[in-house]
Amino acid sequence: MILEGVVTTVSPDGRVNVAPMGPRLLGDPYAAPNRFLLRPYRTARTCANLLAHGEGVLHVTDDVLLLAKAAVGEPDPPPPMRPAEVVRGWVLADACRWYEFRVVSRDERAERVGLEAEVVHAGRGRDFFGLNRAMYAVVEAAILATRTALLPRADIEAEFCKLAVLVEKTGGPREREAFAFLQDYLRRQADPG
């Protein structure tokens, strides 16, 4: 099972990177994770940071606006964070749960690097808001927004139209803001001038 979340890592020069990531849970998918597999693209900052410094923090969050902004660039302004307790890393202040981890093995043979991680500390900030179809529509839109160089533009736009209906019918202000942000991003990709 893949769990959509947000990962924070630290670069060799100390800069924090915030990126959405869907690790594959290893073991019982309905128990608290103690191991998972990250598969960042070799060109991603998250990959470079984890290869240089094999520690980070995986966050479970219902903040789809943060996820949307992190998917297509650095969130501006950066979200509030505090130092992690066990690893050299950062915890998102508004996360529902977080899992500090260390990379225990890596496979660099493919375009997507396989990084098996072991949880060394976990924490809980607040309850998860709950299921909302608009939230998942924003997650899908964020994933599509990162694929503008890989998928036909017409296919992405058609999917955005379907997802917009879910956001309009079931979303609140945060989901609508996140979806509008991604729609604007998609427009800017079509017309960078």
The rounded distance, in Å, linking the Cα atoms of 119 and 34 is 5
pLDDT over threshold 70, residue 138: yes
How far apart CA 170 and CA 178 sit, in angstroms, is: 13
* pLDDT value for 193: 59
Confidence of residue 192 (pLDDT cuts 50, 70, 90): low
- 37 backbone dihedrals φ, ψ, rounded to 5°: -115, 120
Single out the residue of 28, 17, 21 nearest to residue 3, CA to CA.
Answer: 21
Per DSSP, the three-state class of 73 is coil
State residue 23's pLDDT score: 96
Q: Return the pLDDT at 131.
A: 76
Question: What are the tens digits of pLDDT across the range 147-188?
Answer: 998 899 999 999 999 999 999 999 999 999 999 999 999 999
Task: With beta carbons less than 8 A apart as the criterion, state whether 23 and 58 touch.
Answer: yes
Q: E strand or H helix at 144, and its extent?
A: helix 133-145
Q: In this structure, how many other beta carbons lie within 10 angstroms of the beta carbon of residue 57?
A: 28
DSSP element (H, E) containing 170: helix 153-170
Mean pLDDT for the stretch of residues 115-127: 96
Nearest CA to 73 out of 184, 190, 191 is that of 184
% of the chain with per-residue pLDDT over 70: 98
Residue 70 in tokens: 């992190």
Whole-number Cα distances in Å, 130 to 63, 127, 192: 11, 8, 37
Residue 29 has pLDDT above 80, yes or no: no
Mean pLDDT of the residues in the chain: 94
Look at residue 100 and tell me whether its pLDDT is greater than 80. yes
The per-residue pLDDT for 190 is: 77
Q: Which of 80-84, 88-92, 98-102, 186-190 comes out lowest in average pLDDT?
A: 186-190
Position 13 pLDDT exceeds 70 = yes
Would the pLDDT of 92 be above 80? yes
How are beta strands 16-21 and 5-10 bridged, if at all?
antiparallel
Place of tokens 């060394």: 120
